[in-house]
């Protein structure tokens, strides 16, 4: 539940909020209970998967506060969305959803399960300013990125690791870096070609430079 609360805490009041690929709908439920938006959309590409969230949010759907839409990304939402959440997907999938949207939300909260660097690079390259970009832990390590429309630039290291992480060095981020250094050390004990070995060694040195 801590992951859900971490995600929810990054949301801000909005006229229209969309939870894209909403899974069980737990974040949308918190948003509805706290009247975070006048209108809340929950979406999923699978009608079967969406049923879980529809059951949880039935009382809000019945009064029209929440609307359930079976669609890919934003494609089934017929009005502008002020703030959107996309969580629990890979970074490449998140970028695909954002880049295929006909409009850009004013604010985004994104929680990629992998490849967060691709999300960061997309955001600053497509008219978004990153407000917060931090690692947290709830059994596993997770990255969360909050952004709004605006201009921004990131260094190579900030794209790789997150600007907030590098500036504030939260404990979860430091622990994640240490864990990856240990993992790479174990991988390097195995037979591999020189190209792979060089890439892993370079990655380890970059990580060590953070500590």
**pLDDT class of 135 with cuts at 50, 70, 90:** very high
The predicted pLDDT at position 112 comes to: 97
- As a whole number, mean pLDDT of residues 119-127 equals 96
Could you identify the residue written with the tokens 């929810």?
Answer: 8
Three-class secondary structure of residue 14 per DSSP: strand
Nearest to 29 by CA among 55, 2, 3: 55
Q: Is 88 left (phi over 0), alpha (psi -120 to 50) or beta?
A: left
Half-sphere exposure of 160 (CA within 13 A, CB side): 8
177-205 residue pLDDT tens: 999 999 999 999 999 999 999 999 999 99
Nearest to 208 by CA among 73, 200, 18: 200
The predicted pLDDT at position 205 comes to: 95
pLDDT at 1 over 90: no
67-111 residue pLDDT tens: 999 999 999 998 999 999 999 999 999 999 999 886 789 999 999
The predicted pLDDT at position 101 comes to: 82
Three-class secondary structure of residue 36 per DSSP: coil
Could you identify the residue written with the tokens 């009005």?
Answer: 79
- CB atoms near residue 80 (< 10 Å): 13
Q: What is the DSSP letter of 187?
A: H
* DSSP codes joined into one string, 86-142: EEEE-HHHHHHHHHH-SS--SEEEEEESS-HHHHHHHHHHTTEEEEEEEEEEESEEE
Would you call 29 exposed, middle or buried from its count of C-beta atoms within 10 A (0-12, 13-18, 19+)? buried
Six token digits for residue 163 = 């600007």
pLDDT at 19 over 80: yes
The predicted pLDDT at position 53 comes to: 94
The predicted pLDDT at position 31 comes to: 97
pTM of the model: 0.93
What kind and span of H or E run contains 167? helix 163-168
CB within 8 A of 107, min separation 6: which ones? Answer: 12, 14, 82, 83, 84, 146, 147, 148, 149
């Amino acid at each position: 539940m801590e992951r859900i609360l971490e995600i929810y805490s990054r949301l801000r009041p909005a006229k229209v909020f969309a939870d894209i690929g909403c899974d069980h709908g737990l974040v949308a439920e918190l948003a509805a209970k706290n009247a975070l938006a006048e209108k809340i959309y929950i979406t999923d590409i699978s009608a079967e998967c969406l049923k879980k969230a529809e059951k949880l949010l039935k009382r809000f759907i019945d009064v029209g506060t929440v609307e359930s839409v079976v669609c890919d990304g934003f494609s089934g939402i017929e009005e502008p969305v002020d703030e959107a959440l996309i969580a629990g997907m890979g970074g490449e999938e998140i970028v695909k959803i954002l880049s295929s949207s006909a409009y850009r939300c004013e604010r985004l909260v994104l929680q990629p399960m992998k490849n967060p660097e691709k999300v960061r690079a997309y955001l600053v390259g497509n008219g978004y300013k990153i407000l917060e970009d931090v690692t947290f832990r709830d059994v596993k390590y997770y990255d969360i990125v909050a952004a709004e429309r605006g201009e921004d630039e990131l260094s190579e290291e900030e794209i790789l690791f997150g600007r907030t992480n590098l500036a504030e060095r939260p404990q979860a981020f430091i622990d994640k870096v240490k864990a990856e250094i240990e993992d790479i050390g174990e991988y390097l004990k195995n037979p591999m070609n020189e190209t792979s070995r060089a890439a892993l060694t370079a990655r380890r040195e970059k990580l060590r430079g953070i500590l």
